[in-house]
Structure 1
Amino acid sequence: MDSSEQLQPIPTTFCPNLKTDSKENIKAVIFDIYGTLLISSSGDIDQVSLNKDNMRTAMEAGGFDLSGCKEETYSFLLDQLQVQVKKQHKELKTKGHPYPDVDIFEVWKNMFEATESEGLLKLSGSESWEDTIMVFELLSNRVYPMPGMKEVLLAIKKMGIPMGIVSNAQFYTPIIMNYFLTGEFSTNQHIDFFEEDLSVYSFKELRAKPDTALFNKFIPALKSKYNIEPSETIFVGNDMLKDVYTATKAGLRTVLFAGDERSLRLREDDERVKGMFPDFIINDLKQLLKIIG
Structure 2
Amino acid sequence: MELNFRSDIKKWLDNTEKLEPIPTTFCPNLKTDSGQKIKAVIFDIYGTLLISSSGDIDQASLSGDNMRSAMEAGGFDLQSCQPGVCTFLLDQLQEQIAIQHNELRLQGHPFPDVDIFKVWEGMFAAAEEQKLLKRSGSESLVDTIFVFEILSNKVYPMPGMKEVLNALRQKGIPLGIVSNAQFYTPIIMNYFLTGEFTPRQDIEFFDKDLSVFSFKELRAKPDTALFDPIKTTLENKYKIQASEAVFVGNDMLKDVYTATNSGLKTILFAGDERSLRLREKDARVKGMFPDFIINDLSQLTKIID
1:28 match: 40
**More displaced stretch, 212-221 vs 51-60:** 212-221
- 8 A Cα contact 1:163 1:193, kept in partner: yes
- The reply on whether 1:224 has 2:236 as its aligned counterpart is yes
Distance in structure 2 (CA, Å) of the matches to 1:162 and 1:151: 15
Q: Deviations over 1:174-221 (max 9, x none)?
A: 000000000000000000100111110000000000000000122111
Q: TM-score, length-normalised on structure 2?
A: 0.95
Q: How does 1:1-293 map to 2 (within 5 A)?
A: 1-20=13-32, 23-293=35-305
- Structure 1 position 23, deviation (Å): 3.7
* Shift, 1:24, TM fit: 4.2
TM-score, structure 1 as length reference: 0.99
CA RMSD of aligned residues (A): 0.8
Determine the C-alpha separation between the residues in 2 that align with 1:63 and 1:291.
Answer: 49
* Structure 2 residue ranges without an equivalent (≥5): 1-12
Q: Distance in 1 between matches of 2:137 and 2:225?
A: 37
State the SS of the aligned residue for 1:281.
Answer: strand
Q: Matches of 1:228 and 1:29 in 2, distance apart?
A: 11
Per-residue Cα deviation, 1:142-183 (whole angstroms, up to 9, x for no partner): 000000000000000000010000000000000000000000
Amino acid at match of 2:234: L
Amino acid at match of 1:81: L
Is the Cα–Cα contact under 8 Å of residues 24 and 291 in structure 1 kept in the other structure?
no
Residue 67 of structure 1 aligns to a residue whose secondary structure is: helix
How far, CA to CA, are the matches of 1:116 and 1:52 in structure 2? 18
Listed as ranges, the gaps of 5+ residues in structure 1 are none
Structure 2 letter corresponding to 1:247: A
Residues in 2 aligned to 1:145 and 1:24: alpha-carbon distance in whole angstroms: 30
SS in 2 for 1:235: strand
- 8 Å Cα contact 1:80-1:111 kept in structure 2: yes
Q: Percent identity of the aligned residues?
A: 73
Q: How many residues align?
A: 293
The 1:253/1:21 distance shift into structure 2, 3 A limit, reads: closer
